[in-house]
Structure 1
Amino acid sequence: MAFGRTALGSSSGSGGRATGAGGQRPLSDINVTPLVDVMLVLLVIFIITAPLLASSIRLDLPQTDAGKPNEEPRFVSLVVDAKGVVYLNDVPMDDAQLAARLKQAALENRDTEVQLRADTIVPYGKVVQLMGIANQAGLSRIGFVTEAPAR
């Protein structure tokens, strides 16, 4: 019996375990077919949805300066400290001065917001009085500034 050839391959080293039974090398190329399939599907989706994103009705809209979207909202800061002293934009004042300054702010811009900050020990009546002064001056937008509790 000769031991030179077997049914599966030769023993000469060219058909060993690393190359397989028929002497073929392992496949080391990347299969790009699935990648191309996915890219084509995405391309079709973008082609279909792109016209839907833009409005198909063409309009020549009129131009105006009436509503400027880039205007910053105006506000004044009204503060009442623990002693009951009233500050408008960090300037201390009495009720008559406050009413005059708030009327002036309302004449400049009716949408001016009053940001009211009051110490926790300020009586509720004082806060309501200040809200009334602001309302009589023509400023109806009043926001209460608070702090989140410490955890």
Structure 2
Amino acid sequence: MGMNVGSSSGKDLDVVVDINTTPLIDVMLVLLIMLIITIPIQTHAVKINMPVNTPPKVDKPPIIVKLNVDADGTIHWNDTVIPDRSTLEVTFRQMLTEPEIPEIHLRPDRAAQYKVVAMIMATAQRLGVTKIGIVGGEQFM
């Protein structure tokens, strides 16, 4: 820190006191850097305890039912045309009585109406079908 007293030849002796702020700024920057370094890194990961054991091996592959929906709303159950909702319900009920319930792969056409696909999924949910999935999503990208 310094102090400027002025020249001794003048009659007015004004004392000018200016504080040197450079060391203060340096100390504040060092403290800021130390604060930034000591803050823990924020991770956006979800910590999950995954099972360690290997899953049991499946002896035979599951039975798969291909349920296709055409652009005009026609429903195909393994290449058999399902004309209406009541026939679809009967087919679902027959499937649920089998000893091994098959997986349903629902494959709607890109131009198919949403209400037909929603009707199939709502019917399956109402009847208790749990092994259903929509496949062929690559056509919508």
SS at match of 2:65: strand
Give the fraction of aligned pairs with identical amino acids, expressed as a percent: 31
Given the alignment of the two structures, is residue 131 of structure 1 paired with residue 118 of structure 2, yes or no? no
Q: Which residue of 2 aligns with 1:80?
A: 69
Which amino acid in the other structure matches residue 138 of structure 1?
G
The runs of 5 or more residues in structure 2 that have no matched partner are: 1-55
Distance of aligned partners of 1:76 and 1:101 in 2 relative to their CA distance in 1, 3 Å threshold:
same
TM-score, structure 1 normalization: 0.48
Task: Give the length in aligned residue pairs.
Answer: 83
Q: Which residue of 2 aligns with 1:106?
A: 96
Q: Which residue of 1 aligns with 2:29?
A: none
Q: Which residue of 1 aligns with 2:60?
A: 71
TM-score, structure 2 normalization: 0.51
Distance 1:101 1:130 in 2: 12
Q: Which has the larger radius of gyration?
A: 1
Deviation at 1:102, TM superposition (A): 1.2
Q: Which residue of 2 aligns with 1:143?
A: 133
Which amino acid in the other structure matches residue 119 of structure 1?
D
SS at match of 2:73: coil
Superposition misfits of 4+ residues, deviation over 3 angstroms: none
Which amino acid in the other structure matches residue 134 of structure 2?
F
Distance 1:87 1:95 in 2: 12
Deviation at 1:109, TM superposition (A): 4.1
Distance 2:78 2:124 in 1: 14
